[in-house]
Structure 1
Amino acid sequence: MQGKEEIEKARERVIDAISQNMNLYGVTPSVGRLWGLLYFQNEPMTLDEMKHELGMSKTSMSTSVRHLMDLQMVDKVWKKGSRKDLYVAEEDWYQTFIDFFTIKWRNGVNINVSAIEKSLKELNQLLNNNDISEDINQEIQQDIAKLHRALEYYDWLNRLVDSFESNDIFKYIPKKKDYSE
């Protein structure tokens, strides 16, 4: 069929670019390739169909789909008459970005804030110890100040993530235009 080869070539170019760039965000190229494949499908796909298209093992395919579902980049769907699990890619790139990054950012913020709070507690306890030298006292004070500045940053980052999750970010950086024309 005329044009089919050109369509496949155009899709493959985009899928390749996506798979190469997904590693910037902690996703392997093969997982990026899977998302690209699902993105260009007009129908939901089963694990067997994905396995056939990408030449990956069913176990690897299942793990990759689960990873994409955890990142909210793929959804499981139901289709009447089908007994197998079916999957589709989230097609809203804005929402995919928001989901992907807010999951990563929230996790990073929580880990770092927890460590900072634990360290602040320990440093404040040490500060209350009368047996420490003036040099150690000064060093503790400097560390406490640095950690408070870090907490201010994480508060800002949490508010930034909130603006993504509420879509308020689009008030400040609006979506440009509809490219489906």
Structure 2
Amino acid sequence: MPETRGFEEEEALLEEAREPFITEIAKNIHLYNITSSAGRVYGNVFFSTSPMTLDDMSESVGMSKTSMSTCIRQLSEAHMVERVWEKGVRKDLYKTEDDWYKSFTEVFIDRWRHAVISNREAIAATKKRLEDLRNDAHYSETIKKVEHDLEKLRDAEEFYSWLNDVITLFETGAIHDIVPAKKEKPNKSGS
């Protein structure tokens, strides 16, 4: 006959079972430019069966309410949590964004669109300076190096043009035509 456990013991086992996922989220969330502390907060909100207040999160993770507020702001900006409303509750409530594809897409677009724009501007400025130098250069060695650099920048331009097309696939949702989202329906029997 199986050993009977108390409720607190089972709750502790549940927390222990969740820990590997929470740890990995915290470890890898830097890819979203978010701190590992916010990753731990995310993991706790993710497993919560109902929306959580900052106080709930603070108690669950063992962080100050101020730190919790910073973490929630980071997660909100990354579209990973959202504020929800419940009748009769005055405090802000948060839950994780259910659509992981959406939150990834939003972060991917935000971060990479900015990078593409910045890098294209840098390429244009560098090309202008190199072209001006080539036009004023007196030495063939300098002109050769400028031509080499301009060729490298053309390769970079092609890459950022391609990356811009990839970003557009995400913005328009066409990425899902190429790589459909994996959404399995759970078996009603729970298995």
Query: For the residues of structure 2 that align with 1:166 and 1:7, how far apart are their CA atoms?
Result: 40
Contact map agreement 1:35 1:89 (CA 8 A) in 2: yes
SS at match of 1:128: helix
Shift of 1:53: 0.8
AA aligned opposite 2:140: E
CA separation of 1:5 and 1:59: change in aligned 2, threshold 3 A: closer
Q: How do 1:24-173 and structure 2 match up within 5 A?
A: 24-129=31-136, 131-173=137-179
Decide whether the 8 Å contact of 2:25 with 2:40 is kept in 1.
yes
Give the distance between the partners of 2:94 and 2:40, measured in 1 at CA: 15
Which amino acid letter does the alignment assign opposite residue 35 of structure 1? Y
Which among 150, 156, 180 is matched to residue 174 of structure 1?
180
CA distance in 2, matches of 1:177, 1:78: 27
Number of equivalent positions? 180
Amino acid at match of 1:171: D
**What secondary structure, in the 3-state scheme, does the structure 1 residue paired with 2:83 have?**
strand
- Check the 8 A contact 1:35/1:68 in 2, yes or no: yes
Distance 1:180 1:104, change over 3 A: farther
1:73 and 1:100 in contact (8 A); partners too: no
TM (norm. structure 2) is 0.83
Give the structure with higher Rg (CA): 2
Q: Any conservation in 2 of the 1:44–1:86 contact (CA below 8 Å)?
A: yes
Mind listing any 5+ residue stretches in structure 1 that lack a counterpart? Answer: none
The structural deviation recorded for 1:153 is 0.4
Report the alpha carbon displacement of residue 102 of structure 1 after superposing the two structures with TM. 2.2
Unaligned regions of 5+ residues in structure 2, if any? Answer: 1-6
Residue 51 of structure 1 and its aligned partner are, at CA, apart by: 0.9
Q: Distance in 1 between matches of 2:163 and 2:145?
A: 27
* RMSD of aligned residue pairs (Cα, Å): 2.1
Q: Is the 8 A contact 1:51 1:57 kept in 2?
A: yes
Cα pair 1:46 1:87 within 8 Å, conserved:
yes
Q: Per-residue deviation at 1:157?
A: 0.8
Structure 1 residue aligned with 2:18: 11
**Amino-acid identity (%):** 41
Cα distance in 1 between the residues matched to 2:59 and 2:129: 55
Asked whether the 8 Å contact 1:74–1:89 carries over to 2, the reply is yes
